[in-house]
C-alpha cells in the first residue's frame, strides 16, 4: 500500500503493474511487460491499488501464456515485445 499512497500523494497521473523476471536483487529483474493505469483525481490508495491489481492479474496471464508459447521477442535494445496470438505480425 506504501507505493499506492506515494503515487496518490505525488500527484502522478499514471501508475500500473510491471511483470519482470526475478533475480538475486529486489525489483531489478528484466522487465517483460507493463500496463498503465490512470490515477483519478479523487483516488484513494485503496482504490488505485484495486485497479492496479486487476490489471496485474490480467497481465500475468498474458505474460505466462506468451512465455509458454514462445511469443516474447527481444528487440536489439533489450525491450521485450509480445507477439499477438491472432496476428503474428503484430506486437504489443
Q: What confidence category does residue 92 fall into, taking pLDDT thresholds of 50, 70 and 90?
A: confident
The top-level CATH class assigned to 2-82 is alpha beta
- Read off the pLDDT of residues 78-89 as tens digits, 9 standing for 90 and up: 999 999 999 999
**How buried is 48 (Cβ within 10 angstroms: 0-12 exposed, 13-18 middle, 19+ buried)?**
buried
pLDDT recorded at residue 27: 85
- Read off the pLDDT of residues 19-44 as tens digits, 9 standing for 90 and up: 999 999 988 899 999 999 999 999 99
pLDDT recorded at residue 28: 87
Dist. CA 41–CA 79, nearest whole Å: 32
Dist. CA 29–CA 21, nearest whole Å: 5
Question: In sequence order, which residues have a C-beta less than 8 Å from that of residue 69 and are 6 or more positions away?
Answer: 85
- Read off the pLDDT of residues 41-69 as tens digits, 9 standing for 90 and up: 999 999 999 999 999 999 999 999 999 99
pLDDT recorded at residue 12: 97
Dist. CA 84–CA 80, nearest whole Å: 13
Dist. CA 72–CA 52, nearest whole Å: 23
Give domain limits for the chain.
2-82
Amino acid at each position: 500500500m506504501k507505493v499506492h499512497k506515494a503515487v496518490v500523494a505525488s500527484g502522478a497521473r499514471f501508475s500500473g503493474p510491471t511483470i519482470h523476471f526475478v533475480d538475486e536483487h529486489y525489483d531489478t529483474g528484466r522487465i517483460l511487460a507493463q500496463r498503465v493505469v490512470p490515477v483519478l483525481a479523487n483516488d484513494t490508495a485503496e482504490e488505485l491499488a484495486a485497479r492496479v491489481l486487476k490489471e496485474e492479474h490480467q497481465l500475468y496471464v498474458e505474460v505466462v501464456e506468451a512465455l509458454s508459447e514462445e511469443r516474447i521477442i527481444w528487440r536489439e535494445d533489450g525491450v521485450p515485445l509480445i507477439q499477438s496470438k491472432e496476428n503474428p505480425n503484430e506486437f504489443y
